[in-house]
Structure 1
Amino acid sequence: MVKSVDRALTIIKLVSTKKDGYGVTELADKLELNKSSIFRLLATLMEHGFIEQDLVTKRYRLGYQYLELSSKLLDSMDIRKEAAPYLKKLEELTNEVIHLVIYSQKEAVYIEKLEGNETLRMHSQVGKRAPMHCTSAGKTILAYLSEEEARQIINLKGLPPHTKNTLTDPEELILNLTEIKKRGYGIEREENEIGITCIACPIFNFRGEISGAISISGPSIRMGDDRLNILKDYIMDAGRKVSSRLGFDESLYNQYIK
């Protein structure tokens, strides 16, 4: 291990723990180094923008370069890769079809599908658009957009009936979206395909914006209220963890979805 690099990184970690930063004497005491060594380390970190000095208090705190790099890291995260282990666990727990859906340019798109161990024929395909108004994932994404944006999408895409259960009245759908947001997850009972019931939860990014949804789909005959209540806990746990991997504060998930 390179001692100078180790010390520089330790300074960054220490400074990040205090809102008003650290003074040179405090850092010297913490690292058990003389002040001249601390000054040299701080000067290097300041040159690269990782540390800055408050001109009034003379204390050192995190610089904006750290924030810029953090944002780049979060922006570059691959949601499919980050979600993969949690989707696989859901498949193992439920033996049902698992979907990962993202929200992109006012559309919901399937980017992953795990088939489960049970035989279930569905129209969904990776790369295809998920109907926003009649799938659990689509409705969950709509629910966590602003009502203005949700209505824009409804007006743009329309509400074509896929089955006799499809919600085709805009106000009825908006009411359904309100209910989804209140309970934190979406349910769709044969609104997209006869014989299939689905449940979905939201995924949030580091900005707290809706990024997509995870859904579990199965035959309606085994997706009754009791089973959905069990699946709800599984899928919400997955949604919380995937959101965390995308930079969302995991401890806020249950509060945020309400």
Structure 2
Amino acid sequence: MIQSVDRALRIITYVSQKKDGMGVTELASLLDLNKSSIFKLLSTLAAHDFIEQDQETKKYKLGYKYLELSSMLLESLDLRTQAKPYLKELESATNEVIHLVVYDQGEVVYIEKLEGTETLRTHSRVGKRASMHCTSVGKVILAHLPGDEAAEIIAKKGLEKHTEKTITDPTIFVKELQKIRKQGYGVEMEENEEGITCIAVPIFDHKGDITAAVSISGPSTRMTEKRLEELMPLIKKTGKTISKRLGYQPNRTS
């Protein structure tokens, strides 16, 4: 370990934890160094915009370079790559079919599918598009889109009947979306394919926007109410973990 680099990184960590910044004396005490050494480290960090000094309080705060690099990292994250390990964990824990989808032009697109170990015949495949109103993943995404955008999609695409259980009444469908948004997950019981039941949760990006959804699918004979209750905490955890990997901070205030 290079001591000077270690000290510089510790300074960045300490300063990041204080909204109003930290002074030289306080940092010197934390790192057990004299003020002269701390000042040299701060000057070096400031020269590269990692640290900046408040001209009124004379305290040091994080510089904009940190924000710039964070943005670059977040923009470079690939959803499929970041999600894959956690989708595999979910597959192993449930033995069911796992889907990862994104929203595009009023439809959902499957970008990942893990088959599980249980037998399930479903029309889904990577690259295939599906309607939003009759799939658990689609309903979850619709529920977390801005209201006017969701309404526009519903008006444009309609609520086409895919099975006898597809929700085709706009009033009932809006209430369904409100319920999904409130409870944090959505369920689709044979609304898209007969004999198939799915449960899905949203995935959010670093801006707090809905960016994708993950689901567990299985035959309705196996996906009973009790089974869905067992799967719900597992898939919720997966959704939150992937969102966190993408930089989502649920308690962040703008």
**What TM-score range do you get, normalising by the shorter chain?**
over 0.9
Counterpart of 2:211 in structure 1 is 211
Counterpart of 1:12 in structure 2 is 12
DSSP-derived class of the 2:124 partner: coil
In 2, the alpha carbon distance for the partners of 1:181 and 1:43 equals 48
Deviations 1:25-80 (A, max 9, x none): 22222222232222222122112111110111111011111112112212221221
In 2, the alpha carbon distance for the partners of 1:17 and 1:178 equals 37
Amino acid at match of 2:166: T
Counterpart of 1:256 in structure 2 is none
Counterpart of 1:116 in structure 2 is 116
TM-score, normalised by the number of residues in structure 2:
0.93
Residue 64 of structure 2 corresponds to residue 64 of structure 1: yes
In 1, the alpha carbon distance for the partners of 2:138 and 2:56 equals 51
Counterpart of 1:125 in structure 2 is 125
Amino acid at match of 1:76: S
Structure 2 gaps, min length 5: none
Counterpart of 1:198 in structure 2 is 198
How far the C-alpha of 1:15 sits from its partner, in A, is 0.8
Amino acid at match of 2:147: E
Q: Where in structure 1 do 4 or more consecutive aligned residues deviate above 4 Å?
A: none
How far the C-alpha of 1:207 sits from its partner, in A, is 2.0
Amino acid at match of 1:70: S
DSSP-derived class of the 2:162 partner: coil
Give the root-mean-square deviation of aligned CA atoms. Answer: 1.7
In 2, the alpha carbon distance for the partners of 1:232 and 1:9 equals 40
Counterpart of 1:184 in structure 2 is 184
Structure 1 gaps, min length 5: 254-258
How far the C-alpha of 1:114 sits from its partner, in A, is 0.6
Conservation of the 8 A alpha-carbon contact between 2:215 and 2:235: yes
Amino acid at match of 2:209: E
% identical aligned pairs: 62
Amino acid at match of 2:138: G
Counterpart of 1:174 in structure 2 is 174
Counterpart of 1:228 in structure 2 is 228
In 1, the alpha carbon distance for the partners of 2:53 and 2:106 equals 43
TM-score, normalised by the number of residues in structure 1:
0.92
Counterpart of 2:52 in structure 1 is 52
Amino acid at match of 2:78: D
In 2, the alpha carbon distance for the partners of 1:40 and 1:128 equals 57
In 2, the alpha carbon distance for the partners of 1:132 and 1:219 equals 20
Counterpart of 1:81 in structure 2 is 81
Amino acid at match of 1:228: L
Amino acid at match of 2:29: D
